[in-house]
Amino acid sequence: MIDRRLLLASVAGMFGLAALRMLKPSPARSAGKFEIEKSDAEWRARLTPQQYEILRNQGTERPWSSALLKEHRKGVFACAGCDLPLFSSETKFESGTGWPSFYRPLENAVGTIEDRSDGMVRTEVHCRRCGGHLGHVFDDGPKPTGLRYCMDGLALVFHPATPSPS
Ligand SMILES: [Zn+2]
C-alpha cells in the first residue's frame, strides 16, 4: 500500500517537473497572440536546432560565438524566425559582452516582458510579430537611449543594405 502511494507520488512528481519544465520557457508565448503563429513542429522544421533553442525555448548562445559580432556593414538585422526587421546597423555598438548589442530597436519591432527565470529579474525581448525570444534589454547602454539590447546572434539574420546605384 505504502509502496504504491510512494510510486504514485513520485510519478506525479515527475509529471509535475516535466510540466514545469515545459511551462517555464514561455514568457514570450504567454504574452498573448502573435501575428505569426506556428506549431512547434513547424518551428522545428523552419529553424536550426540552435535557433529553435533560442527563439522558441528562451535559450542563450555562448558568448563570443556569433558571427554577427564582426558584422560592421550597413544593413538591417531581422528576426531569424519571421524575417521582421528588428535593428538597424546604425544602432549596433561594441558592448564587450560577447553578444551582438544595440541601443535601440526599430519602430514597432520588439516586445518586452519581465523575466524572472534563473533567479534574476530581467527584461526579456522578443519579436513582436512571431514572439521569438531574442535576448534581454539592460539599462547600462550608451547614449542616446542608455539601453543595451543584448541579443542572441542566432536569433537574427543580417541583410546588408543594397548599395546605392552609382
Ligand atoms: Zn519574428
Q: How far is the CA of 12 from the centre of ligand 1 (A)?
A: 36
Helix (H, G, I), strand (E, B) or coil at 157: strand
Task: Check pLDDT > 90 for residue 76.
Answer: yes
Q: How far is the CA of 132 from the centre of ligand 1 (A)?
A: 5
Confidence of residue 28 (pLDDT cuts 50, 70, 90): very low
Cα-Cα-Cα-Cα torsion 113, 99, 75, 87, nearest 10 degrees, comes to: 10
The letter for the amino acid at 141 is G
**Mean pLDDT (whole number) for 15-21:** 48
> Which pLDDT value is given to residue 33?
85
Which residues carry out catalysis? 150
Cα separation of 66 and 68, whole Å? Answer: 5
pTM: 0.79
Q: How far is the CA of 52 from the centre of ligand 1 (A)?
A: 12
Average pLDDT, the chain: 87
> Which pLDDT value is given to residue 118?
86
Q: How far is the CA of 1 from the centre of ligand 1 (A)?
A: 52
